[in-house]
Amino acid sequence: MSIKHIITVPDETLKKISEPVEKVGENEKKLIKDLFETMYQSKGIGLAAVQVGVLKRILVIDVSNKNEKKEPLCFINPKINKLSDETAIYEEGCLSIPDTFIEIERPKICEVEYVDINGKIKNLKCDGLLSTCLQHEINHLDGKLIIDHLSKLKRDIIIKKISKLKKNPDRILV
């Protein structure tokens, strides 16, 4: 297992559409372990393969509370079959967009069909935080980020700010 580097905006890879996985083989299983390790280390609750530069339709999620037992979930080739009319609003952040939180309204409930780590087709109906997180991660597989919910002007301001931060390393005085 290894911790992967998470790519951040404005890396163009984040805008690409990930390819479906044809078979869950050893490479995919290793990637999934790395995704979990990278997500836990970064204190995120979800991570898509594209965020570590791999264009495969694979994502991992764990929305359990810090003090609870871990609840790792892995979704391969996830496909949303149904979305509720009722919506929910969360303030969302993204490991690929440092220090940025945006209020986003999404359908509250979603029904998803996916392949699990053993190659079995599964269905899951989710609500609340899991539903929002899953929709956020599936957006990643289609090259869509939370800043795409904003106007171009606001989006450009955020990208400019992050690009500037990348060029200027943290200044310390010791």
> Smallest distance from the beta carbon of 136 to Ni ion, in angstroms?
6
Pick the closer one to Ni ion by CB: 24 or 134. 134
Write down the catalytic residue from 68, 111, 113, 137. 137
Residues at the contact surface with Ni ion, assessed by CB under 5 A: 94
145 contacts 14 by C-beta, under 8 angstroms:
yes
Gap between the Cα atoms of 149 and 169, Å rounded:
29
> Smallest distance from the beta carbon of 57 to Ni ion, in angstroms?
15
Pick the closer one to Ni ion by CB: 42 or 64. 42
> Smallest distance from the beta carbon of 7 to Ni ion, in angstroms?
11
Gap between the Cα atoms of 136 and 123, Å rounded:
18
Q: Among this protein's residues, is 105 annotated catalytic?
A: no
Residue of closest CB approach to Ni ion: 94
Pick the closer one to Ni ion by CB: 89 or 121. 89
Pick the closer one to Ni ion by CB: 51 or 77. 51
> Smallest distance from the beta carbon of 8 to Ni ion, in angstroms?
10
As annotated, the active-site residues are: 137
